[in-house]
Amino acid sequence: ALIKSRALIKGSIQSIPDYPKPGILFRDVTSLLENPAAFKATMQVLIEQYKGKGITKVIGTEARGFLFGAPLALELGVGFVPVRKPGKLPREVIGESYELEYGQDTLEIHVDAIEAGDKVLLVDDLLATGGTIEATTTLVRRLGGVVEDAAFVINLPELGGETRLKKIGLNVFSICDFD
């Protein structure tokens, strides 16, 4: 059943050549979200992977991490915490800068969203270089949260994110790889 649903999920993800720039083959998770059987199968795989593991918070990273992280938190019966681009969160925040292919960006989290000792699961739609999830791990650890797991719908292994995240002590789970 797991193999069948992984094939359904992978088959629902459209690949768009030369987006957003020439030479990039863009893996588009919006086509998965439009397919209710694929979306449900995705959530079932994630729930099966993480139920009963003692997770106390789920974090989703802006923007596409929200789409999978929030329903997973609901199913696990724990709180959902958004990590956002600068200036979007209204309470006290801490921020962490990270390198992009060209330049830098910053992510922020509410300081009161994580309690010391929270066992935090990080969720995003796609793992590329791992910069987004490394910065998010740093934010949560600065607040005393325990981060050991990161989950993705899509992994692009050639971009090295999985290797990078393993080096900072994360177990990386992904539903489908695209080479």
31: contact with ligand PRP by CB under 6 A: no
Distances (CA, A) of 90 to 14, 33, 109: 35, 29, 10
CB of 95 to ligand PRP, least distance (A): 15
| Count of residues interacting with ligand ADE (CB under 6 A) | 7
- Confirm whether 48 is a catalytic residue: no
The percent helix, strand, coil of the chain (3-state, each to 5) is 35, 35, 30
CB of 118 to ligand PRP, least distance (A): 21
Sheet containing strand 171-177, strands side by side: 79-83, 57-61, 119-127, 146-155, 171-177
DSSP β-bridge partners for residue 152: 124, 174
- Confirm whether 101 is a catalytic residue: yes
**Residue matched to tokens 């050549």:** 17
With contacts defined by CB under 6 A, name the span among 25-33, 82-90, 106-114, 166-174 that binds ligand ADE.
Answer: 25-33
69: contact with ligand PRP by CB under 6 A: no
126: contact with ligand PRP by CB under 6 A: yes
Binding site for ligand PRP (CB under 6 A): 61-65, 124-132, 161
